[in-house]
Amino acid sequence: MSLFGRIRDDIRSIKERDPAARTKLEVLLCYPGLWAVWIHRVSHWLWRHKLRLPARILSQVGRFYTGVDIHPGALIGRRLFIDHATGVVIGETAIVGSDVTMYQGVTLGGTGKQHGKRHPTICDNVFVGNNANILGNVTVGENSRVGAGSVVLSDVPPNSTVVGVPAHIVYHNGQRVLITDPHEIKDPLSDALIALSTRVDELEDRLGARDHRAKPFADEEAERAAYSQELERLRVYVSMGEGI
C-alpha cells in the first residue's frame, strides 16, 4: 500500500472506531495518537537503517508533542488507534498487531534488565483499557480485551477478557469464567484470605456451628433455663424475708 493509502486507511479506521470523530479532517488535525503512529513509522525506518540516534531524537520529539512514547525499535501493525494518547509507553521489543485499540496511560513495558525480547506481543484486534500495564515477554491473543487498570503478567489466550491486579480471565470465548479457587487469582492477598477462611472453618467446627442440633449452645441454654427456674423458686422466700 502506498504512503497516502496508509494515511487514508489510518484515518478511516479511527473514524469507524471513535464515535466522537465527526469528519476525516477532524481526525487528521485533532488526534495526537494518530500523529504518534506516523512519527513512529519514520523513526522506525531510521532505526532499521542503523540511524539509531536520529531515530531516538525523532521519537522524543514525537513524545513531546503527542504524549506518546514509542521506542523506534517497536514493531507496530496497521491501523493502531491510540485514543486520547497521553501517557502511552511502548517498549523497544514490543510487537503490536493490526487493528489494536489503546487508551491513555497504557504501558507495554519490561520487567527487568534482561536483553532480547522483553516486552509484550499484542495480537490483532486487541482492546487495551486506560492505565493498563502489560509487562514482560507475554502475549495477548487475538480479539482479547484488557480491562482498565489491569496488570497483565502472563499470557492471555485469544478471545478472552482479563481484569485485575494481577490480571485474571473473566470471559473466554464468550463464556463467563467462574473462579472457585482463590489461588487462581494469584493476588498477593490470596494466601492471607485462604488462611483466614481455613481458620474460620476450624472455629466453626469447634463451636459446633455446622451441627444443626447446635449441641454446645443447647447445653448452655438448658443450664441458663435451670438457673432461672431456681431463682424463681427462691424469689418468694427472699421477698418475704423468710428462710433467714
The pLDDT tens digits for 158-189 are 999 999 888 888 888 888 877 666 666 666 66
Structural domains of the chain, count: 2
Which residues in 28-128 belong to E strands, given as ranges? 69-70, 75-76, 81-82, 89-90, 95-96, 101-102, 107-109, 121-122, 127-128
119 — phi, psi (to 5°)? Answer: -125, 165
**pLDDT of 85-127, one tens digit each?**
899 999 999 999 999 999 999 999 988 777 889 999 999 999 9
If asked whether residues 66 and 170 sit together in one domain, one would say yes
Question: Does the structure show a pLDDT above 70 at 194?
Answer: yes
Within a domain: residue 111? Answer: yes
The reply to whether 231 and 127 lie within a common domain is: no
- pTM given for the model: 0.73
Whether residues 159 and 225 share a domain: the answer is no
- Pair 139, 214 in one domain: no
Alpha-carbon span 159 to 147, nearest angstrom: 13
Q: What is the CATH number of the domain that holds 55?
A: 2.160.10.10
| Domain span including residue 23 | 3-178
Q: Is residue 183 part of a domain?
A: no
Residue 51 lies in a domain: yes
